Chains A and B, each alone.
Chain A
Amino acid sequence: MDTLNELLGGFAAAMTWQNLIFAFLGCLLGTIIGVLPGVGPVAGVALLIPLTLNLDPTGSIIMLCAIFYGTQYGGTITSVLLNTPGEASSAITTIDGYAMTKLGRAGAALTLAAVGSFVGGTVATIGLVAAAKPLGELGLLVGPPEFFALMVVGISLLVALAGKSMVKALISGALGLLISMVGIDPVAGAPRFTFGMDRLLDGVSFVAVIVGVFGLSEILSYRKNSKTPLVHAPGMRSLLPSRTEWRRSAPAMARGTGVGFGLGLIPGMTGSVSSLLSYAAEKKFSRFRNELGKGAVEGVAGPETANNAHANAALIPLFTLGIPASPTIAVLMGAFLQQGLTPGPALFTEHSDIAWAIIASLFIGNVLLLLLNVPLVGLWTSILRVPTPILTALILLFMVIGAYTINFDVFDVFVMIGFGLLGLALRNLDIPLAPMVLTLVLGPLMERSLRESLEISQGDFSIFTSRPISAVLIGLGVLIICSPLLKVRKPKALTEDPEA
């Protein structure tokens, strides 16, 4: 009953006209980012953080969350109409989505994907409501050693799951941690890696780094002769799926919700893995599995439901334990921290009103996206007709504004340029970027909990193994990192994960 009352309070706060506008704007911007093949959700969310800096914390986080799941809805549009995924997590949708377009059923595919996304997103948000209290209370029992161990598990999972090589993932993770350590050391007050520059005493701007590594490097890896695609929006009348299509999609949506929700809870799993495994589930369990690949609705409804259920479920570890499960969530966590909110169990005790307003806005955002997405498909496709040079110029404009407005200092623009080049080098060396973002955000928290734990134990490292919860978690982390030595093979879906 308590939870329901708090959720209703959250709805009252989220339904103010300002917050509704923020949610609406976020959904709009998120869909645009999702539609644009060049800008992924990580860079997109980071890029728009500066827009929200002057807003109140609730409005700002509502808008950023809406941008985040808006990208999941938007990514589908290009997958279905153009055979080009707007986001990595919609890549698998191209197979049957584009086949449906060729059969003249593009409208139905987009509607079913949007409805599936709505179902997946809403069910996962209900899961968040149910899990918030109990998990949050459990989280309050966690001391610095357990928190450190929890982060070790989260990072090791991401490192183990990202890309093809764990060695490269560890390099990426170590780089992120080192970047997060630039500036004044939190305990002794000594400057670290500042190279004598006063501007670096406060550390490197997180937004400038993310925008550089994820956004600018993407633009730098563009090829000159990329052409503007030819795309036709389906007519309004063709947007309605037939009764058979509805009937066939329902079980696929149910399976997609299960797969996406379950995997969304595990740190290191990306939305792409959920959509890939959901497609695999359709291949195995669907009554119409023989039609998959030739334009079967299950191949659209399943994966699209799964990636949205995943996106929303991934907020559960963030809200309740303070652990970001994916790179985009890590950027969202960075935005929380910039607003002075620390995600985790304390969020529900110290800022319970904000936490519940954000959760309520997730429901509202999913409804908004369902209403916005399909009827406005003509508008979204017109964005795709904008020629590449104009899009590139405008994206660069936003990147410069985004980097500058963090501290109102041109220095951060240079930081963004430098990290753009680093990102390009990492992409070319096939080093996954995901572990770097996660450790960049978690670095300071991880170091603080490590040092607090060692201060409690007066320098004795056995504190991590003598307390049962942290001992189990550290053991798990070691096991995950050592899994290549144990010849544990990764499932195929993970090695092919395009987001890692």
Chain B
Amino acid sequence: MTTESLMTKPESAARVAPSVLTGIGAFTAVGLYVLVSSASLGLWTSLGPGPGLFPFAMGGVLVSMSALWLVQELRRPSAAAEGIDRGVVISVVVSLVVLALLMDLLGFQLSMFLFLLYHLKLRGQRTWLSSLIIALAGSVGAFYAFNYGLNVALPVSAFTPLNLIGF
């Protein structure tokens, strides 16, 4: 992830990138968890293979491949990835989580309107007019198009007052 790891030569002095080590650690941990929990599900029953057999095998694949990957990285560390734009990741993920939390409470139309306005006006710096038009079309417009056009019901507000005024 760092410029340092990009500049160092592979083979000799190079070190495994921290993000790669974290990844290998995470896959090993998931694999170990799967091995333990699938063993407790029962690998074999009197009728044949138990519910734990297939996941157990996959846990084994995950652990052994993570170990192999570590060996490969120690021998020849891979070039560091390009990295991510943390600002984009945080704003998109947080806004989606807030939207998901509010959708049942405020209803699809209101929560999606706010979500779109945030992405268009605050993040995208579009004009007020275009932001409002697109946000309205994407929230109220989509709600009616899906409800009446495609027969797909999007959520309405759990609050009676909001519900009464059409949200």
Contact = CB atoms under 8 A, between A and B. Distances in A.
Interface of A: 50-51, 53-54, 165, 167-168, 170-171, 173-175, 177-178, 181, 185, 187-188, 190, 192-193, 216, 219-224, 387-390, 392-394, 396-397, 400-401, 404-405, 408, 410, 413-414, 417, 420-421, 424-425, 428-431, 447, 450-451, 454-455, 458-459
Contacts of B37: 193
A420 B126 CA distance: 26
A389 B123 contact: yes
Contacts of A222: 85, 88
Contact of A167 (B72, B89, B153): B72
A115 B72 CA distance: 46
B27 A171 contact: yes
Given A178-B55, A390-B124, A224 B92 contact: no
Contacts of A421: 93
Nearest to B119: A393
A240 B123 CA distance: 43
A459 B81 contact: no
Interface residues of B, number: 69
A397 B116 contact: yes
B120 A188 contact: no
A417 B65 contact: no
Contacts of A397: 112, 115-116, 138, 142
A410 B158 CA distance: 13
B87 interface: yes
Contacts, number: 174
Interface string B10-31: 0000000001100100010011
Given A171-B62, A178-B58, A400-B112, A387 B27 contact: no
Interface string B36-73: 01100110110111111111001101100110110010
Interface in B109-124: 112, 115-116, 119-120, 123-124
**A contact face: mostly helix, strand, loop, or mixed:** helix
Given A170-B61, A192-B41, A400-B112, A450 B96 contact: no
Contacts of A216: 92
Interface in B138-156: 138, 142, 146, 150-155
B41 A413 contact: no
A396 B97 contact: no
A400 B96 contact: yes
Contact of B134 (A174, A393, A425): A393
Given A174-B65, A393-B116, A188 B88 contact: no
A188 B51 contact: yes
Given A188-B50, A192-B55, A224-B88, A171 B20 contact: no
A220 B96 CA distance: 12
Nearest to A461: B49
Nearest to A414: B100
B100 to A, nearest CB: 4
B120 A181 contact: no
Contacts of B47: 455
A165 B79 CA distance: 14
Nearest to B87: A224
B163 interface: no
B78 interface: yes
Contacts of A413: 96, 99-100, 103
Contacts of A185: 41, 51
Given A174-B58, A220-B84, A429-B81, 6 more contacts: A174-B65, A192-B38, A220-B92, A397-B142, A413-B96, A454-B49
Contacts of B97: 414, 417
A154 B157 CA distance: 47
Best-buried of A190, A400, A447, A455 by chain B (most CB within 10 Å): A400
A429 B23 contact: yes
B93 A193 contact: no
Contacts of A425: 23
A417 B98 CA distance: 11
Nearest to A425: B23
A133 B15 CA distance: 56
A417 B138 contact: no
A193 B55 contact: yes
A497 B123 CA distance: 34
Contacts of A221: 84-85
A388 B92 CA distance: 14
Given A178-B55, A405-B152, A220 B116 contact: no
Contacts of B154: 401, 404-405
